[in-house]
Structure 1
Amino acid sequence: MSDYHQLKMYSFLHQSICWSFPFDTICFSYEELPAKMHDSLWLISLEPYEKKQANSAYSLSIAIIENKVLTQGFVYDNLSNNFYYAEKGRGAFLNGQPLCRDELMRLREAEIRMDSSFLRREQPLNPSYQRVRMAELPTALEICTVAEGNTDIFMTMNQTPYEFAAASLIAKEAGVEVMTLEGQELRWNKASSVWCGVV
């Protein structure tokens, strides 16, 4: 997706949201989080990604914060036409169907996807790393693949709330553990490492 099309999409989203929710604060991924928190805050990110035989693949991520609490998360993948949604305390959904991961597994059985900073190029070819793959999707979609059950663990570093906030709520509501790599609570309002999984 070109910068022009990305800005056009941001403009469309801004107009649409402001028309329906004129008193909410709308923030896009190229903006800093506001110093003062308002009653309702929207964090919106549009992340292009590369995929073979696809010209304009992107994920759209929207997190809604009310009274400093992350209450709703939306992630849309235009390539697969998958729409992930969660509301705090009311579950997570993929295209209207409930998402639930209630299993636990051993680490040696888990399918793991990692940020490239964790891996050397030769590792994915080594048999001892046969269940470890390099992350290829935007962070929001990688987290959603754990909620969906296509991956069991996802790890990454230095992510902004725009990248993980909405998807982290979807994962939590689907029964997935979400935290920082240090084992701390993942906060929607600060940049952080991200670990999510069912191990």
Structure 2
Amino acid sequence: MTMITLLLCCLIEPPQSVPATPLVPMKRPTAPPETTKGASEFPTSWFYSKGGQRYADNLAVEGKPLPKLSLENWRGEPVDVNNNQGKVMVIDFWATWCGPCRRALPKNVEMAKKYKNQPFVLVGIHDARRGKDRIEQVVGPLNAEYPMAVDVLDSQSKSGRSAQACRLKYWPTYLVVDYKGIVRACGLQPSRVEDVVKRLLKEVPQESSPEPETTSDQS
């Protein structure tokens, strides 16, 4: 029998809330335990959780290199997400049909502008299955300038390849990747993403100040 993992759309408030919106099926070859206490460098209250326990799928992604992502149909300048290039990267798995996702978009826009001169990049990845035809209608009025792409649909599972690689459990799902390409947080509540970003930006090595140019008289 094919194992089915349910993908759900999370509420943004309050912390540790249990989503009450209809479940969205998403096929996966295996189904790990639903939740686990696990260990994390950030407070559990910053993440979506159930009964005070974080989702095992989220914890399984943390502390490891970002899985290879397959993206298409970029809006804005494409980003090589598989080559982090020394930047802190936020990945927002979202969808136009997801209410909490849409409510979090203004915060994304604000954060992208705030850290545009920092070693930072925010990338939106839209659901491969449905709703991608409404992306511009949703984000256009927000003047969103950060890059967005659409997940590539897997013909067999009928789910997004990137969503499967990141063991997506619900929408929206935020991942924060450090400058070394390691996933440091997965499943954050939108209101806590920037808290993680601030911490990880402090870890990025400061570039050496360039030597001042000098001129010599050869007369």
TM-score (norm 2): 0.25
Which protein shows a greater Rg?
2
TM-score (norm 1): 0.27
Higher RCO, 1 vs 2 (CA within 8 Å, ≥6 residues apart): 2
